[in-house]
């Protein structure tokens, strides 16, 4: 039995499954809408679609390196319990490997790409895992790091925070130790920029404007205010720019000085080219229902 694009759309509206999953189900069911819906349920895809509206604000930040390419990735789920499980960790690894394999431009392109070993798209793979695990799973973001030198990563507290750095480096194990120290610093200090030069002009001007108003509100004169603001901007750089921050293991030097000193001790090239870090769940809506509200919702759902 033949089916049309309209049939695919109708099935999608009924089940909430993806377009390709609906098309595949209709093909396998010879165009029979009812059988196709049953196939989606059997495959766990319809069940997964029902979970799409849930809040997935837990999860992990994961780091994966293959050759000269590294990936920092955040994958979310609904509970910390699931996030700590091996199945969820394996999902993150599979997705990270796919990112290295196809180098997608964004999450949408990643989800549409086909995992060669699985013979299915990343989106389909995740929908199947939702059916197995029983929670909403979503790939939130990723960063790809390509390096001709050294890629160093650090995952804190089982995935609550992740750091990845790219060093221009031609030294061995001693360089890795120094790179790891910088990674620990980034995890601790959470810098927003690497150098003062990277701070956007608009951000800097806004900060100066706020600081000047603060100073003037304290009763300082206009003539003195600008000088005080410049001093405060220096403090802003020290708090937000990695190279200007006091090194976490020795606050008598900056991170820039630590990197420079490490290069001298190594007697080799050792220069930080870029860094990134993710805080798991940062900015995501959190589930805030208390137990009584949750029970009430379940009881109400049972009445329907």
Identify the CA nearest to 238 among candidates 229, 226, 247, 227.
Answer: 247
* Contact present, 21 and 130 (Cβ < 8 Å): no
pLDDT at 289: 47
* Contact present, 193 and 199 (Cβ < 8 Å): yes
CATH class held by domain 55-146: alpha beta
Q: What confidence category does residue 300 fall into, taking pLDDT thresholds of 50, 70 and 90? A: low
* Contact present, 164 and 275 (Cβ < 8 Å): yes
Identify the CA nearest to 60 among candidates 89, 87, 86.
Answer: 89
Q: Residue 184: pLDDT above 80?
A: yes
Q: Residue 142: pLDDT above 70?
A: yes
Tell me the pLDDT of the chain averaged across its residues: 89
How many percent of the chain have pLDDT more than 90? 71
- pLDDT per residue over 214-248, tens digit each? 999 999 998 899 999 999 999 999 999 999 999 99
Q: Residue 128: pLDDT above 70?
A: yes
Q: What confidence category does residue 291 fall into, taking pLDDT thresholds of 50, 70 and 90? A: very low
Give CA–CA dist 158/45, Å, rounded.
Answer: 29
pLDDT at 22: 86
Q: Residue 17: pLDDT above 90?
A: no
Cross-strand partners of 278: 162
Domain segments of the chain: what residues?
5-39, 55-146
- pLDDT per residue over 79-123, tens digit each? 999 999 999 999 999 999 999 999 999 999 999 999 999 999 999
Give CA–CA dist 62/44, Å, rounded.
Answer: 26
pLDDT at 230: 93
pLDDT at 53: 60
Q: Residue 157: pLDDT above 70?
A: yes
Query: At the topology level of CATH, where does 5-39 sit?
Result: Helicase, Ruva Protein; domain 3 (1.10.8)
How would you list the strands of the sheet with 150-156, edge to edge? 150-156, 161-169, 270-279
* Contact present, 138 and 51 (Cβ < 8 Å): no
- pLDDT per residue over 23-76, tens digit each? 888 999 999 988 888 788 777 666 566 566 677 889 999 999 999 999 999 999
Distances (CA, A) of 159 to 19, 36, 82: 33, 39, 12
Q: Residue 129: pLDDT above 90?
A: yes
pLDDT at 55: 73
| Least confident range of 165-169, 238-242, 243-247, 299-303 | 299-303
- The residue with greater pLDDT, 1 or 96, is 96
| Angle made by CA atoms 135, 136, 140, in degrees to the nearest 5 | 140
The token duo for 60 is: 């992990």
pLDDT at 47: 56
Q: Residue 191: pLDDT above 60?
A: yes
pLDDT at 44: 66
Q: Check the CA dihedral 168-152-145-246 and report its sign.
A: negative
């Amino acid at each position: 039995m033949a089916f049309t694009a309209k049939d695919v759309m109708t099935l999608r509206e009924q089940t909430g499954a993806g377009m390709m999953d609906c098309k595949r189900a209709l093909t396998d069911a010879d165009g029979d809408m009812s059988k196709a819906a049953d196939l989606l349920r059997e495959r766990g895809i319809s069940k997964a679609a029902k979970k799409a509206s849930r809040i997935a604000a837990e999860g992990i930040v994961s780091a994966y390196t293959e050759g000269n390419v590294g990936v920092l990735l955040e994958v979310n789920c609904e509970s910390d319990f699931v996030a700590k499980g091996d199945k969820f960790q394996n999902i993150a690894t599979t997705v990270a490997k796919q990112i290295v394999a196809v180098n997608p431009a964004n999450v949408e392109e990643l989800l549409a790409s086909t995992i060669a070993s699985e013979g299915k798209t990343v989106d389909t793979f995740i929908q199947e895992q939702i059916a197995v695990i029983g929670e909403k799973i979503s790939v939130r973001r990723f960063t790809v790091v390509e390096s001709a030198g050294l890629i160093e990563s650090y995952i804190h507290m089982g995935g609550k925070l992740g750091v990845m750095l790219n060093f221009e480096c031609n030294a061995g194990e001693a360089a890795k130790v120094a790179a790891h120290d910088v990674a620990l610093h980034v995890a601790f200090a959470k810098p927003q920029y690497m150098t003062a030069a990277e701070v956007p002009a608009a951000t800097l001007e806004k900060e100066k404007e706020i600081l000047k108003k603060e100073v003037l509100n304290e009763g300082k004169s206009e003539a003195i205010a600008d000088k005080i603001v410049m001093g405060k901007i220096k403090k802003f750089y020290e708090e937000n720019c990695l190279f200007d921050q006091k090194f976490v293991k020795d606050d008598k030097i900056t991170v820039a000085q630590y990197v420079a000193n490490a290069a001298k001790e190594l007697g080799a090239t050792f220069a930080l080219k870029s860094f990134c870090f993710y805080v798991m769940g940062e900015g995501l809506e959190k589930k805030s229902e208390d137990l009584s509200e949750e029970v009430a919702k379940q009881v109400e759902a049972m009445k329907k």
